[in-house]
A and B are shown apart, each in its own frame.
Chain A
Amino acid sequence: MISRVADYCFWFGRYLDRAESSARLLQATRTLVFDADIPVTQCWAPLVIVAGEFEPFVKLHGEPALGNGETVQEYLTWSGDSTVSLRRSVRAARECARGIRDQLSLDIWEEVNELYHWLGRDSTRLLYRDNREEFYRNVRRSTQLVLGLVRSTMLHEEPMSFLWAGVMLERSGQIARILDMHHHTMQREGAHDIVQVALWMSLLRACSGAEAFMKANRGRVSAQSMLGFLLFSPDFPRSLRYCLRSAYGLLRRVWSGPSDDFELHQSISQLGALLDWLDLRAENPDLDIIHELLTHVVDETGEICKQVVQEIQGPPRPQTAQSQSQTQ
């Protein structure tokens, strides 16, 4: 397939999942504020930090605003300045979708388009003001619907492989960030074991993983087992290991044709190495090294994403495309 189209597919998947996980994260943090006995700043500030928006946020709103849930939510939901805001992610996803309109089914396109227009409506601003839960739920539903339509209405060929690899890599990066953030908060607060369990539980719920975890562990809960589940479960589709494995399989499938030089695809070997590395740690999960582990995963997935984009594009291109007007 055409390199640019593969690139757009990859990014479409990433933006889509980013929008979904932003909504998830914001919603989960609102719950966290009620569930946990920790200072409000500790709840909201990490969101800004993991989004990589600390500096622009502080410049715009000042440091004390990091403790203000409303300001943080407004910023991460609506801001046109923040490149990671929910609204920007949806807009970017739609732009990608426009560029690959010929690859997507009409159902996918209509739903993305509808979400984009919905976010722009005044009535949606009112919903955000008056019923925040419902607002986040709507965004999640809508993005999940698109993700479902991708798998149920697109040909399972190369475009979908790149798209879904984007979803999976974005998701693993996001999961690693959330886990690290929670872990960090708990360490700082020196939370008691019971509080820790409550916190991990709320995080599991945010990942729609509470029931799956209970099934897998037959109701035995501990901070260690919950963390282990989100990191290493081979069967839960939102665990770190599952997402990375899935991305690995998709990229291998794409680049294993007769005309491909497998060796050239560093993204695949790097992803394979990361999985091996994780597998080793899965055998003996250690809460003490968790921060190092997560930082390594975040850095590596970031690198792998860059690598994928480079390999999609092939050698550097001589020109860039821009728009012009047309007259006829």
Chain B
Amino acid sequence: MNEYIHGVLQAVAAKTLGLLEAYEPLAGTYDELVESEGRPRAHTRTLFSLLSRLSPRELARHQALAELSLYSQGVTFSVYSDQQGTEKIFPLCLVPRVIGAREWAAVERGLVQRITALNLFLDDMYGEQRILKSGLVPADLLLGAKCFDPKLRGIAPPGGVRIPIAGIDLIRSPDGVFRVLEDNLRTPSGVSYVVENRLVTKRVLRDAIELSAVRSVEQYPIELAATLRALAPQGGDGHVVVLTPGIYNSAYFEHSFLARHMGLDLVEPSDLFVDGDVVFVRTTHGPRRVDVIYRRIDDAYLDPEFFHPDSLLGVTGVMRAYAAGNVVLANAPGNGCADDKAVYPFVPDMIRYYLGEEPTLAQVDTYVCARPDDYAYVIDHLDQLVVKAVDEAGGYGMLMGPQSTLAQREEFKRRIIAEPRKYIAQHRIELSTCPTWDPSNERLAPRRVDLRPFILTRPGETWVLPGGLTRVALVQGSYVVNSSQGGGSKDTWVERLEP
């Protein structure tokens, strides 16, 4: 351990310059720390002055210590493609991203509004489908969404909340406006890193956290447990479990982290069985009834009887128990039809339709290739657009037009012509940047970031975790923040609102 830190210190010369002296934001982007003249923003002054006093050598040492501590605590994710089961830490940059109190309050309102509308949309889609009859949105597109399962129609989840846990990906465009990039309404992950990152960052930047009046994030597991308990059909004393695919799943650390911090049992599919449309867990003292399942397993693997007859995975009969109202699944099955990339362009319409309000949170203008006008535009402007396959995630199946080769564009053109419904396109947004430790040059450099806030909903109440997961593209010039493709993360500080 000491060898490692010693090595890092050898490599970073004892520079006397403050960390921020040579920091230059990228032209044409919004920097989260400084204004274009290099002055701190109103809400980043405390952090700015602290960073100015810190030397690169000190930060390098803290970084090395932080990485070691995450590794030895096993705060890792598995690299799924790697048969050896290699584990990596999700790299953490200790320089936090700060969000002002007022700014955050507006984001929070927008998120609550969006989740409320999406919940109503899901109820509608699996119910009367009024929105389709209204003609506001193209029915064939919504019904054709890959994750829309007609078999689920008519099943209302006990408690009525379909999206107890959501993660909405936001980016900030050069005009400083937060925009929704993507909704994650099935099994959004990453919240464990939010809590862990704060613990690590606190050790180094305790004073700055106090001085900046940063809102706490450690209460997330408690809020989540309360949310899950509130969903139980019989109220607060229901038996709640966390369902994981198992220790080889890439997000297993998070599943176990959440179970541990909520004091709930972590179960695998084989621990559960269904008898008389009631779910039980096998215990050393016989079967015990389960009332709420926080499942971190995709719909497709949830119940072989319902979704995949040839699958050996899942809990046979759990969907029957769900339909009978005997167990709550969080999140509800079928939510994928609301976070489909092809459905995303219509979310503002949903907000207007269901709530009679204007959306307060902006999103990215999107071309839907299923619409003839958009289709023609996309085909003609591939070199300027970011094209995304609607059923891929994790940054895969994308064409970054401005950086692409002719061959790549031709390939995407062929794919779009073959299956227009599968593709959407957007103009590339210059993501905002944040000063980020660049170990090879031993300095802070601007790197692009996004933000995934987490939103918890129980009957009658929606709660937003202050901040969320800031992901950062560690590679210079990169726009891809996904952990599987060279992304890292940062602690996110939300300033407390003055009373």
Q: Which A residues are closer than 8 A to B by beta carbons?
A: 1-6, 95, 98-99, 101-102, 106, 109-110, 113-114, 117, 123, 158, 162, 254-255, 257, 259-260, 312-314, 317-328
Contact = CB atoms under 8 A, between A and B. Distances in A.
B434 to A, nearest CB: 23
A117 B74 CA distance: 10
A113 B245 contact: no
Given A2-B281, A260-B285, A319-B313, A326 B189 contact: yes
Given A113-B72, A328-B184, A323 B270 contact: no
B114 interface: no
Interface residue range, chain B: 35 or more
29 contacts: A1-B265, A1-B284, A2-B281, A2-B283, A3-B282, A3-B283, A4-B282, A6-B284, A98-B256, A99-B247, A101-B256, A101-B260, A102-B259, A109-B73, A110-B73, A110-B74, A314-B282, A318-B273, A319-B304, A319-B313, A320-B312, A321-B245, A321-B246, A323-B247, A324-B245, A324-B301, A326-B251, A327-B394, A328-B187
B256 A102 contact: yes
- Which applies to chain B's interface (DSSP): helix, strand, loop or mixed? loop
A3 B283 CA distance: 5
Contacts of A6: 284
Contacts of A5: 265-266
B271 A324 contact: no
Contact of B73 (A113, A259, A314, A326): A113
A6 B269 CA distance: 16
Given A2-B265, A254-B284, A317-B282, A328 B270 contact: no
Contacts of A325: 80, 249-250
Given A102-B259, A113-B73, A319-B312, A324 B187 contact: no
A4 B268 contact: yes
Given A113-B72, A158-B284, A319 B270 contact: yes
Contact of B286 (A254, A259, A326): A259
B435 interface: no
Given A314-B286, A322-B246, A4 B271 contact: yes
B296 interface: yes
B74 A113 contact: yes
Contact of A324 (B247, B273, B313): B313
Interface string B152-187: 000000000000000100000000000000001011
> Lowest 5 CB-CB distances: which A-B pairs, in order?
A323-B248, A327-B393, A3-B282, A102-B260, A101-B256
B269 A321 contact: yes
Contacts of A257: 285
Q: Among A95, A254, A324, find the residue whose CB has the most chain B CB atoms closer than 10 A.
A: A324
B188 interface: yes
Q: Among A162, A257, A322, A326, find the residue whose CB has the most chain B CB atoms closer than 10 A.
A: A326
Given A98-B74, A319-B304, 18 more contacts: A1-B284, A98-B247, A101-B74, A101-B256, A106-B73, A109-B74, A123-B3, A158-B284, A314-B282, A319-B269, A319-B314, A320-B270, A322-B248, A324-B249, A326-B189, A326-B249, A326-B250, A328-B184
Nearest to A322: B313
Contacts of A319: 269-270, 304, 312-314, 316
Given A326-B296, A328-B167, A321 B187 contact: no
A314 to B, nearest CB: 5
Contacts of A317: 270, 273, 282
Interface string B240-279: 0000011111111000100110000111111101000000
A219 B281 CA distance: 55
